[in-house]
């Protein structure tokens, strides 16, 4: 190891050490995000997409045991053909799912969002000549989009949860 390599490593280590204490797990015990688990009533979303989304939200936010917050989610999906063959058949589909969500909390008037946001997820699949293969691919994309949206929503809620959950004393 040359002298310049050693000095570069020492410099990097010296810069990284003060930042080492700045990072902590989002769901660390006693953190406001971990206090929110099980306190959010999950939305009833229709269809397969809603089933997969609710399932992933429950994994991330916990099964609601004593909910004092309510999550509302509205999902809009668009499906569009991207690649078109010479015979005008669509060979590639792009699906975009947009979720607009609001977290309603125990406010004085019982209305109004405590947190809100909008998440967008995109995916695609090949539309083959096999109807069965195309349907399976479309369902896989639908599940992937629902799970991704749920991940994004839950991360946003947990990251912004300071002040939502009373800390245990």
pLDDT digits (tens, 9 = 90+) for 83-113: 666 676 677 889 999 999 998 887 655 555 6
In this predicted structure, the answer to whether residue 12 has a pLDDT above a threshold of 70 is: no
Q: Are 151 and 60 in contact, with CB atoms under 8 Å apart?
A: yes
Band (159; pLDDT cuts 50, 70, 90): confident
In this predicted structure, the answer to whether residue 17 has a pLDDT above a threshold of 60 is: no
Average pLDDT (119-141) is: 89
Lowest-confidence range among 11-20, 128-137, 151-160?
Answer: 11-20
Residue 167 confidence (pLDDT): 38
In this predicted structure, the answer to whether residue 169 has a pLDDT above a threshold of 50 is: no
Residue 131 confidence (pLDDT): 84
Band (168; pLDDT cuts 50, 70, 90): very low
Residue 141 confidence (pLDDT): 94
Q: What share of the chain is helix, strand, coil (3-state, %, to 5)?
A: 40, 30, 30
pTM: 0.74
Pick the closest to residue 149 from 70, 43, 68 (CA basis): 43
Pick the closest to residue 69 from 37, 34, 117 (CA basis): 37
- Residue that wins the pLDDT comparison between 65 and 150: 150
């Amino acid at each position: 190891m040359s002298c310049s390599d050693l000095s570069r490593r020492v410099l990097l280590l010296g810069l990284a050490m003060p930042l080492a204490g700045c990072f902590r797990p989002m769901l660390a015990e006693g953190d406001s995000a971990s206090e929110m688990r099980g306190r959010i009533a999950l939305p009833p979303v229709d269809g397969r997409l809603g089933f997969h989304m609710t399932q992933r939200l429950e994994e991330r936010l916990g099964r609601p045991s004593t909910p004092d917050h309510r999550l509302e989610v509205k999902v809009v999906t668009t499906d569009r053909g991207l690649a078109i063959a010479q015979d005008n058949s669509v060979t590639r589909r792009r699906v975009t799912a947009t979720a607009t969500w609001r977290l309603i909390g125990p406010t004085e008037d019982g209305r109004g969002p405590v947190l809100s946001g909008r998440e967008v997820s995109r995916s695609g699949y090949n539309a083959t000549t096999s109807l069965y293969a195309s349907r399976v691919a479309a369902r896989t994309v639908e599940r992937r989009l629902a799970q991704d949206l749920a991940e994004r929503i839950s991360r946003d809620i947990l990251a912004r949860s300071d002040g939502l959950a009373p800390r245990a004393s």
